[in-house]
Every structure is written in structure tokens, then in C-alpha cells.
Amino acid sequence: MNAYALLACAIALEVLATSLLKASDGMTRLWPTLGAMLGYGVCFWLLSIVMKTVPTGIAYAIWSGVGIVLISLIGLFVFKQKLDLPALIGIGLICAGVVVINVFSRSTAH
């Protein structure tokens, strides 16, 4: 399977696991806690496979950057958390960084 498809799966699982961690209420609710642990476990396994072909720094930058943006949106729309202007600017800069890596970097696997 394509490394970037696996990276997308790892990102999706990380976002799901983080959402479940929030829903676990400090790990006091069993099923969200177990779901978060399983999600993180599979996520890290997939990320380790991605890093066989994609440079570590690039893979991690994309994984963490896209994950931050997605979990911020989930926080905003699902958990009703507010984002102020500096947070929105920071998220925009993260998005710009991910685009620059994918469009201009010769370090990425193609």
C-alpha cells in the first residue's frame, strides 16, 4: 500500500484516539479509554511502517501537523471549544507548512 495512504490512516486513527481520550473523562470511562489505547497503538504501528519509506522528519511533520488541524476542528465543532485569533493563525501556519513540505520538498517519498 502507498506510504501516504498508510500515513492518512495513521492520522485518522490518531485523531479518533485523541477524541476518544477526551471522551474518556481522564481515563475514568472504560470503553473510550480502551478505544483510545487501541487507536494510538495501531496509529503508531502504521506510522512506523510509513517511516520505512518516508523520511522521519517529513512523516512526523505531516502526521502531527494534519492531526493538530483535524483535532482542533473536532474540538471546535464536536466539543464546542473556542479558537481565538492566535490559535487560528497558528493552525493556518501549520497548514502552510504541510503544503510546503508536500509541494516543494524533495525529501518526500513519491
pLDDT single digits (tens) 4-54:
999 999 999 999 999 999 999 999 999 999 999 999 999 999 999 999 999
The pLDDT of residue 78 is 94
Does the pLDDT value for residue 110 go beyond 80? no
Task: Determine the 3-state secondary structure of 89 from DSSP.
Answer: helix
Question: Would you mind telling me the total number of residues written for the chain in this entry?
Answer: 110
Q: Is the pTM of this model over 0.75?
A: yes
Scored b (16 or more CB within 10 A) or e, 7-26 reads bbbbbbbbbbbbbbbbebee
Q: In whole angstroms, give the CA distance from residue 48 to residue 8.
A: 13
